[in-house]
Amino acid sequence: MSQLSYAVVGTGAIGGYYGAKMARLGREVHFLLHSDYEYVREHGLCVCSCDGDFALPQVNAYGDASAMPKVDVVLVGLKSTNQHLLRTLLPPLLHENTLVVLIQNGIGLEADVQEWFPGQPLAAGLAFICSSKTEPGIINHQCYGSINLGNYSCRSASLFEAVLNDFIEAGIDAHEVNYAEARWKKAVWNMPFNGMTVALQTQTDKLLKHPATRQLIYDQMMEVIGAANVLGIDTIDESFAQKMMQMTDDMVPYSPSMRLDYDFRRPMEIHYIYSRPIAEARAVGFEMPRLEMLERELMFMEKEYLGH
C-alpha cells in the first residue's frame, strides 16, 4: 500500500473531488482553501456524487500554504488564471522529489511551471468530469470522473506508478497517457465547449441540438485536431472529434468551468485554453480562425465586466 502524502492546492470542484477521494481511501491529504477555509475547517468536505454521496467530517484544512507540511505529491486544482500564485504557494510543499500534478485546463501549463521550478517533477492531470462547487465545502459531482496522467518531467517511474495506483485504489478510472497527445485531446473538447457556452449563454446539450451550432462545434474540434497534427501529434484524427461529440450527447446538460466563471464574473481561463494553443499553432504556420474569433469574443465579454 502506498504511503504517499498529498496536498491539494485549489480545493474546488476538481481538486476537491480527487483530494476527497484520496482522503476517503485513507491517504494523508492536506487541503489548501481560500473562500471557504473557515467552513471546511469546522464542517469538513461533502461530495454529492452520482456514484454515491460521502462526507469527510474532518480534513486537514489550511488557509495559508506556509503552514502546510512538505508532501510527496501536490495536486494543483487552481484555475489557470491564478497560475502566477504557484510561485509562492508551491515552495512550502516541495521537497526535491515532490511530484506536482497540474489538474488544469489548457496548453503550456507545465512548460511555464517548469521555468519557475527547474528540475521539479511535473505531470499533467487530464480530468474528464462534470463537477461544480457553488457552496462552501460541498462538491457536486454530476457525471464521469476519470483522470489521465501524462508524465512531463518525472524521472521516477516508481513514484509516477504509485500515484497512478493511488487514484485507481481510490475508485477513480485512471490511466497513464502520452503527455502532449493528452493535452491536445483535452483541448479538442475544451476549446469549443468552454467558450461557446459563454458566447451563446447556453449549455452543452443545446449547442449540440441545434444543427448550426452542432456543425460549428465540430468544425472547431477539427481546427484543434489540425493544430495538433501540424505540431507532430498524428494520433488524433476525425474519429476522436466524433467520439467527443457522442460523449457530450450522452452527458447531462452541463455548464463548463468557463461558463461558471462568466456567470460569477470571475476571470476566464482564456490564456491557456485559447491564446496559448492558438499561438503555438500559428508558430508552425497553422491558423485557427473560428477559435481565434471565439477567443476575441471572450476577451471582449470579460473586459465588459472586469473593466480591464
Angle at 104 between CA 282 and CA 65, to 5 degrees: 130
Residue 2 scores a pLDDT above 90: no
Strands 60-62 and 28-32: parallel
Instruction: Give me the percent of the chain exceeding a pLDDT of 70.
Output: 99
Q: Give 83-113 pLDDT, tens digit per residue.
A: 999 999 999 999 999 999 999 999 999 999 9
Mean pLDDT of the 182-198 span: 97
| DSSP labels, the chain | ----EEEEES-STTHHHHHHHHHHHT-EEEEE-STTHHHHHHH-EEEEETT--EEESS-EEES-GGGSPP-SEEEE---GGGGGGHHHHSGGG--TTPEEEE---SSSHHHHHHHHSTT--EEEEEEEEEEEEEETTEEEEEEEEEEEEEESS---HHHHHHHHHHHHHTT--EEEE-HHHHHHHHHHHHHHHHHHHHHTT--HHHHHHSHHHHHHHHHHHHHHHHHHHHTT-TT--HHHHHHHHHHHHHSPP---HHHHHHHTTPPP-HIIIIIHHHHHHHHTT---HHHHHHHHHHHHHHHHHH--
Residues 6+ apart with CB under 8 A from 206: 213, 253
Mean pLDDT of the 199-205 span: 97
Q: Give 11-30 pLDDT, tens digit per residue.
A: 999 999 999 999 999 999 99
Half-sphere exposure of 281 (CA within 13 A, CB side): 24
Mean pLDDT of the 177-195 span: 97
Annotated active-site residue 186? The verdict is yes
Residue 1 scores a pLDDT above 60: no
pLDDT number for residue 144: 85
Q: Give 54-66 pLDDT, tens digit per residue.
A: 999 999 999 999 9
Q: Give 226-237 pLDDT, tens digit per residue.
A: 999 999 999 999
* Signed CA dihedral, 260, 262, 265, 266: sign only: positive
| DSSP labels, 65-91 | GGGSPP-SEEEE---GGGGGGHHHHSG
> Cell digits for 258?
468557463
pLDDT number for residue 160: 98
2 versus 205: which is more confidently predicted?
205
Mean pLDDT of the chain: 96
Give, in order, the Cα–Cα distances in Å from 53 to each of 20, 24, 138, 276, 294.
11, 12, 11, 37, 37
- Which domains, from first to last, does the chain contain? 5-177 (3.40.50.720), 181-306 (1.10.1040.10)
Mean pLDDT of the 69-77 span: 98
Single out the catalytic residue among 185, 186, 243, 303. Answer: 186
Of 190, 193, 214, residue with least CA distance to 203? 193
Q: Give 262-299 pLDDT, tens digit per residue.
A: 999 999 999 999 999 999 999 999 999 999 999 999 99
Half-sphere exposure of 48 (CA within 13 A, CB side): 10
Q: Give 127-177 pLDDT, tens digit per residue.
A: 988 888 889 999 999 888 999 999 999 999 999 999 999 999 999 999 999
pLDDT tier at 308, thresholds 50, 70, 90: confident
pLDDT number for residue 140: 94
Instruction: Give me the percent of the chain exceeding a pLDDT of 90.
Output: 94
Residues 6+ apart with CB under 8 A from 265: 305, 306
Distance CA(32)–CA(62), nearest Å, equals 5
Q: Which residues sit opposite 168 in a β-bridge?
A: none
> Cell digits for 121?
517533477
